[in-house]
Amino acid sequence: MLGPVRNASRALSPACALVLGLQLCTGAGLIVLPAPAQAQEQQREFDIPAGELSQALQRFARQAGVQILFPYDQAQGKPSRAVKGRMTISAALQRLLAGQRLVVVKSDRQRITLRAAPAGHDPRTRQRRATRRQSVPRPPPPEPAPPPQPIEIVVTGRAVSAPLTVSETSYSLTALSRSDLDLSAPLSSSALFRQIPGFWVESSGGEAGNNVRSRGIPTDGFSAVAFAENGIPVQYDGALGYLNTDQSFRIDDTVARVEAVRGGPASLFMPNAPGGVANFITRSGLDEQGGRITLTGGDNGYRRIDAWQALRLSEEWGVVAGGFYRRDGGRRPPSYTADSGGQFRLSLDHRSAGNSLLLDLRHMDDRVTFYLPVPLRLDEEGEPEAIAGFDPLRDSLAGPETLKLPLYNGRMPTEFDTSEGTHTRLTALTMRGMLSLGGGSEWHGGLRWRTSETIRNALFPTGTPMTGQSYLASIEDRMKAAFPDTASLALRYALDGTEFPAEAGANGLVTGGNLLAVSVPLDEVLAETKLTTTLEAAGRHDIALGISGAHYAYRFDRYMGTVLLEVADSARLIDAVALDAQGGIAGRYTDGGVQRYGSIFDSARMTVDALAVHASDEWRMSPRLRIDFGARWEVNRIDGQVAGQTTLDLGDPSTLADDQILAPDGTIIPVRRSDSGFGWSIGGSYEMSPDLALFARYTRSFRLPSASNFNTTPLRTDQKTVPITMAELGANYTGDTFDLSATAFATHFQRLPFSDFRFDFATNAYVEQTEIADTRTFGAELEAFWNPAGPFEVTVQATLQDGRYRNFSFTQVMDGEPVHRVFSGNRLIRVPRMAVRAVPAIALIEDRLRIELTGEYFSRRFGDIANEQALPAYLLVGLNLRALLSDRISLRAHVTNLTDTLGLTEGNPRNGSFDAGSSTGEYFFARPEFARTVRLEMAFEF
């Protein structure tokens, strides 16, 4: 195996060193202006010092947990009074607006809109007449007069911090407030994407290791969708092999809200994000006071505690501390603790005289199970159903006999531990800041250092379930050739030698399983520095010029052994033996259930230096018309080493399991390459009226090759920069009782590599094939919110899309013969044409009791590129409940998959992504949604 090639402490490249030096010299970072969380008409702690009104209103929004829209020119420079104490949102707003020429024209549970008061108007009279609606006051319709343009702060998908309304954005953005997160309680950071149209999420892998796709993007994992934390990437490249971004981040109560951008300008300001970015914005001790402890319990032994505390140290300094700890028996319990661990955060905020500084430390030590496909069968009508003796929603192949097994890591004997699951130990230190230069200019910067060690162990099912007799027939020739005295073959349980199956009523099925262990330690430094300024020339220009750099180094070590299992919950290991004429054992195909020791071995060391330059201009041509455009140039240099391989025979003549162990041969294959890309985007928005705005955008983006593409094939030449074209046209409407956001989009990927990584059950080895093709997708996204009179409301999010492969034809060797395959025109793998999420809700007892019913529908999909393995449509029903027992105590309940629907999210990629075989066979593997889950939460505010 290889020793370390380089680590993050080595001398940085000149470009990265330059960017890092700028951060340390300026002490700067991007300012994050948290916006709204959902309002509750309960008492909250407010601490808004006297000062300038526009800043006071922004502080009010953060502390109240609402979006606040107001005419900026009517508030800028105006003095405001201090508001301090525990009170309702409406009372705090009334005090803040006392004596000001601003009135409330619309308010609901998420947003409050202000406008300049007409001449002769007394805002205190309007406030007294205001009627209560939802959780904040909703006044009668305003006097007829065109209100000035309101201002709402949007921070994601932009390079400047100038206030911006949602109607002015020229891209699709969805904001999830803290209350949204509390009420929906996503079971993983990936699962929250279910609340965002345009994204297709496979969150059936558990709390980590899932797949997210956006707008027809045909790649898995997080290769084209980025996670950001306070505007800085959680991980520069989310496509690193076996190190998805969601393994590096957990949602907890220190997150104040999430902003998600689909497509659009995400690729300009965030690396590896052509499909979009989810920006997790954390709490600030300057904007919030107090704290909360939340206790959660659920089925299968789920226990969790979340806590956070915010404290204002002075007018200029604030601190937040918090995190979580959790233990869980598992969504499909494997007979041992499936998940355990937690995360801790400590943040220090400073703001004064227009400058800001954020220091944030996050440490995570968490172990979660990676859930994989389960065995199923087809009924007479071709619909999937359970196999006798195995519940696909609650049973697990993993169990006591596969918990710890002796395998080989190259030439080294080792013990494989399934209970390690996906175990991540991570520490990240972040510095962000802003320095006012005067004259409308600002210097921004951000710096994040991260070190982590990730282990990913799991039992991967292979092939298809088959009868014991079919399995013996498949190995008969090899057994007779190896053991000439063979008279018959038999299957026996590995631990006690009894015959398989033990019970007459058992299903009699066996399957292969890969015990795969991967280790990916990563050290990473990310840095960005940026200058923003405002110019007046034919309108207002908010201009930004930035440079960012990254340096990261990782090791990739992987080994695997293949076992034979019965198809049952907590499956037992099976031995295949050759019997002589007297019934004695002449030889063994397996060894203690192991079919092949060392069926995979890989060892690689990679270092990547990345440099990007971006520039943008947000041009306000008139009060109604706004145009923005920008460009990004990026270059990555990959430098690494990959160990060569050979095959060993350990020399045990009684078994075939040790005949072909993959191990290092002592050679080193170097990797050295550089790739670059240039992208640009232009968009515009036009406000037709105060309630309706239109936008359009065209983007030419790219995706650079990932270093992990060379972990196992260092000499490959099929990896190039992938050009990506995106276009979108949308409308945003905001009415008194109805909000609507609709977007039509088109995406085109060119020269995209598609890999078929298929496990050959006959040889117990992987076979890989890569082909180059294009994809094109047309679709539409919709978000609607209807809040009629009374306690009812409905939220609907929908995505309609038709994604197809283009220029996809190749020759494939099948059964020793070349076969020409044509996949052009086939639908994209696993992406539904229709995905709809509807959430009807009712708020009772002055919003102290809220009940939501969630319905999620996903249309028919295909588990392979050949469109041979159909995955049926399905509907998931859930329930969320929140009860305010007092001003400081709340009770929440969450039920997912209420009806125990067997919804299949993917087939079994180990059987091949090109052609997994048609669904005409009786047995197959697929990964379903989880069974019904019930969780109860009790939250105590202080």
Does residue 916 contact residue 896 with C-beta atoms inside 8 Å?
Answer: no
DSSP state at residue 921: S
Residue 84's CATH number? 3.55.50.30
Among candidate residues 89, 117, 151, the one where a domain is terminated: 151
Quickly list H helices, 88-190.
89-97, 123-129, 178-184
Q: Which of 120-129, 286-295, 798-807, 889-898 has the lowest mean pLDDT?
A: 120-129
Among candidate residues 117, 136, 151, the one where a domain is terminated: 151
Does residue 57 contact residue 84 with C-beta atoms inside 8 Å?
Answer: no
Query: For residue 28, is it within any domain?
Result: no
Q: What is the pLDDT of residues 708-725, one digit of tens each?
A: 999 999 999 999 999 999
* Rg value, the chain, Cα: 29
Per-residue pLDDT band for 135 (boundaries 50, 70, 90) equals very low
What is the Cα–Cα distance from 735 to 413, expressed in whole angstroms? Answer: 67
**With 90 as the cut, is the pLDDT of residue 597 above it?**
yes
For 643, the token pair is: 């160990």
**With 90 as the cut, is the pLDDT of residue 405 above it?**
yes
Strand residue runs (E) in 299-372? 302-312, 317-328, 339-352, 355-368
The pTM of the full predicted model, rounded to 2 decimals, is 0.84
**With 50 as the cut, is the pLDDT of residue 120 above it?**
no
Left, alpha or beta for 666 (phi > 0: left; psi -120 to 50: alpha)? left
Cβ atoms < 10 Å from Cβ of 11:
9
Residue 150 or residue 825, greater confidence: 825
Per-residue pLDDT band for 371 (boundaries 50, 70, 90) equals very high
Residue 292: which of 178, 136, 176 has the closest Cα? 178
Query: For residue 285, is it within any domain?
Result: no
What is the Cα–Cα distance from 437 to 7, expressed in whole angstroms? Answer: 36
**With 60 as the cut, is the pLDDT of residue 23 above it?**
no
Residue 739: which of 694, 785, 703 has the closest Cα? 785
Query: For residue 742, is it within any domain?
Result: yes
Mean predicted confidence (pLDDT) in 449-456: 97
pLDDT at 110: 62
Residue 727: which of 170, 309, 201 has the closest Cα? 170
Left, alpha or beta for 909 (phi > 0: left; psi -120 to 50: alpha)? alpha
pLDDT at 766: 74
**CA distances from residue 921 to 67, 382, 568, 666 in whole angstroms, order as listed:** 54, 9, 19, 44
Left, alpha or beta for 26 (phi > 0: left; psi -120 to 50: alpha)? alpha
**With 50 as the cut, is the pLDDT of residue 40 above it?**
no
Task: Tell how strand 923-928 and strand 904-906 pair up.
Answer: antiparallel
pLDDT at 82: 87
**With 60 as the cut, is the pLDDT of residue 29 above it?**
no
Give rounded-to-5 percent helix, strand, coil for the chain.
10, 55, 35
Q: What is the pLDDT of residues 685-744, one digit of tens each?
A: 998 888 899 999 999 999 999 999 999 999 999 999 999 999 999 998 988 889 999 999
Q: What is the pLDDT of residues 284-315, one digit of tens each?
A: 998 888 999 999 999 999 999 999 999 999 98
Query: For residue 330, is it within any domain?
Result: no
Per-residue pLDDT band for 196 (boundaries 50, 70, 90) equals confident
pLDDT at 134: 32
pLDDT at 921: 60
Does residue 906 contact residue 871 with C-beta atoms inside 8 Å?
Answer: yes
Q: Taking the alpha carbons of 918, 924, 928, 932 in that order, is the dihedral positive or negative?
A: positive
Mean predicted confidence (pLDDT) in 796-815: 90
Cβ atoms < 10 Å from Cβ of 6:
17
Residue 880: which of 934, 827, 835, 815 has the closest Cα? 934
pLDDT at 627: 92
pLDDT at 713: 92
pLDDT at 269: 86
Does residue 808 contact residue 770 with C-beta atoms inside 8 Å?
Answer: no
Per-residue pLDDT band for 162 (boundaries 50, 70, 90) equals low
Per-residue pLDDT band for 502 (boundaries 50, 70, 90) equals confident
**With 80 as the cut, is the pLDDT of residue 170 above it?**
no
Residue 468 or residue 175, greater confidence: 468
Classified as helix, coil or strand, 473 is helix
**With 60 as the cut, is the pLDDT of residue 835 above it?**
yes
Q: Which of 41-45, 590-594, 772-776 has the lowest mean pLDDT?
A: 41-45
Q: Which of 194-198, 231-235, 510-514, 923-927 has the lowest mean pLDDT?
A: 194-198
Task: Tell how strand 67-71 and strand 111-116 pair up.
Answer: parallel
Q: Distance between the two ends of the chain, CA-based, in angstroms?
A: 53
**What is the number of domains present in the chain?**
2
Beta bridge partners of 343: 324, 364
**With 60 as the cut, is the pLDDT of residue 74 above it?**
yes
**With 60 as the cut, is the pLDDT of residue 534 above it?**
yes
What is the Cα–Cα distance from 32 to 286, expressed in whole angstroms? Answer: 12
Per-residue pLDDT band for 60 (boundaries 50, 70, 90) equals confident
Query: For residue 115, is it within any domain?
Result: yes
Residue 786 or residue 190, greater confidence: 786
Among candidate residues 151, 171, 187, the one where a domain is terminated: 151
pLDDT at 157: 61
Does residue 282 contact residue 230 with C-beta atoms inside 8 Å?
Answer: yes
Residue 165 or residue 251, greater confidence: 251
pLDDT at 1: 60
pLDDT at 504: 66
Q: 772: domain range?
A: 339-941
DSSP state at residue 127: H
H helix count then E strand count, the chain: 8, 53
**CA distances from residue 539 to 114, 626, 628, 688, 760 in whole angstroms, order as listed:** 25, 9, 12, 19, 64
pLDDT at 275: 86
Look up tokens 């930035």; give the residue: 546
What is the Cα–Cα distance from 71 to 480, expressed in whole angstroms? Answer: 85
Cβ atoms < 10 Å from Cβ of 820:
8
Residue 785: which of 361, 3, 195, 150 has the closest Cα? 195
Mean predicted confidence (pLDDT) in 110-132: 48
Look up tokens 């282990």; give the residue: 455
Residue 2: which of 706, 667, 707 has the closest Cα? 667
Residue 357's CATH number? 2.40.170.20
Query: For residue 751, is it within any domain?
Result: yes
Q: Is the peptide bond before 501 cis (omega within 30 degrees of 0)?
A: yes
Residue 530: which of 170, 26, 12, 17 has the closest Cα? 26
Q: Which of 7-21, 70-84, 171-185, 833-847 has the lowest mean pLDDT?
A: 7-21
What is the Cα–Cα distance from 472 to 282, expressed in whole angstroms? Answer: 57
Mean predicted confidence (pLDDT) in 438-467: 93
**CA distances from residue 259 to 62, 153, 197, 688 in whole angstroms, order as listed:** 15, 11, 13, 25
Residue type at 487 in one-letter notation: A
What is the Cα–Cα distance from 62 to 396, expressed in whole angstroms? Answer: 44
pLDDT at 154: 53
Classified as helix, coil or strand, 210 is coil
Does residue 772 contact residue 755 with C-beta atoms inside 8 Å?
Answer: no
pLDDT at 567: 96
What is the Cα–Cα distance from 422 to 332, expressed in whole angstroms? Answer: 15
Classified as helix, coil or strand, 779 is strand
Query: For residue 167, is it within any domain?
Result: no
For 80, the token pair is: 């405001």
Q: Which of 183-197, 423-437, 549-563 has the lowest mean pLDDT?
A: 183-197
**CA distances from residue 17 to 10, 253, 498, 549, 607 in whole angstroms, order as listed:** 11, 35, 65, 8, 15
pLDDT at 52: 82
What's the mean per-residue pLDDT of the chain? 86
Query: For residue 541, is it within any domain?
Result: yes
